[in-house]
Amino acid sequence: MAAARSFRPFLLAGLMAALALSFSACGKDGGGEQAPERGDQAVARVDGKTVWASDVKREAVAQGLIGEGEPLDASSELFRRVLDEVVDQKLLASEALKRKLDKDPVAQRRLAAARERILGDMLVESVVSDAVNENAIRGLYQEQLKLAKRSEEIRARQIVVGTPAEAEQVRKLLAAGASFEALAMERSTDAATRFNGGDLGYFTTDVMPEAYDAALKDAKAGQVVGPFATEGGFAIVKVEDRRLEQPITLEAARPQIVRFLTYDQIRDLLEKLRGRAKVEVLVKGDGARPVPPADAPKAAPQPKTQTPTTQTPQAKGAQP
């Protein structure tokens, strides 16, 4: 271990957790060689007590270095660094016990609080892992698909020019069989779309300027409409396709669904526990319950594709 390592601020938090676990395990064999998890690997020993790969992974997750369930290669630099910190925590905790710091009343309160946090986290993890499963995720996704209202999408190309005379020239060239894409690249003044043949991608008319909504409302696939006045000049638009708006995929919706189901389970668990317990708040206040995290959905997620509102037609990549 490097003697010149800088002291890490989070080491104290780790020490409290290590002391809490040591305190709760008094009288048990702390140096047992049986792996705590199936397939676990012994990666170090501190005064004869084994440090397991799962100990290192748990610390890496606690620090936000990896996500829950992500692998951590025992040969990686990150693993060795976190292992170094776990060893430091165990050495500090062991020395604190030798000095009987755990017997101090203040220390015992802090240890008890750390133990309660750990047990609370374990309960939440257990409840969430049982409830937030693939069936629940797919079930909520299908439920929201049935509830979601799907608008009609249009895929179109446009040519924008500065004057009515230029627009009329473009219209005549198109009527004579000229390529819409080629004319868009040659004549259009809209920098956002001219170099991809005027392609606007798929959009719903509510995100477009009012003139587009009126012009495209009844247009059929393959039809050329315009010219009509827009903020950027005069537009001629070719409708390539009309279809129902594509729903969000399960994989794209999965993170939001998991957050919603997780928050829902935690809320229900706390409501049940508070309903069974006698809780007396002895300080004055407005009585408001803590607000949920900012990223916790307030209602079931609506799997509806959103298209940013624009004041002028913007280039969008065509969807498959």
Q: Examine the domain organization and report whether 99 and 171 are in the same domain.
A: no
Percent of the chain with pLDDT over 70: 79
Q: Report yes or no on 143 lying in a domain.
A: no
Of the candidates 168, 130, 152, the residue with the CA atom closest to the CA atom of residue 217: 152
Q: What is the pLDDT of residues 49-94, one digit of tens each?
A: 999 999 999 899 989 998 877 889 999 999 999 999 999 999 999 9
Q: What is the pLDDT of residues 85-128, one digit of tens each?
A: 999 999 999 999 999 999 999 999 999 999 999 899 889 888 88
268: its two tokens: 């229900």
Q: What is the mean pLDDT of residues 154-182?
A: 92
Domain count, the chain: 2
> Where does a domain end: 84, 114, 144?
114
Give the residue numbers spanning the domain of 157: 152-244
Rounded CA separation 314/232 (Å): 12
Q: Report yes or no on 96 lying in a domain.
A: yes
Radius of gyration of the chain (CA): 31
Q: Which 3-state string (H, E, C) describes 82-145?
A: HHHHHHHHHHHHHHHHHCCHHHCHHHHHHHHHHHHHHHHHHHHHHHHHHHCCHHHHHHHHHHHH
- pLDDT at position 246 is 77
Whether residue 227 is preceded by a cis peptide bond, meaning omega within 30 degrees of 0, is: yes
Rounded CA separation 177/179 (Å): 6
Q: Examine the domain organization and report whether 95 and 158 are in the same domain.
A: no
CB-based burial label for 145 (10 Å; 0-12, 13-18, 19+): middle
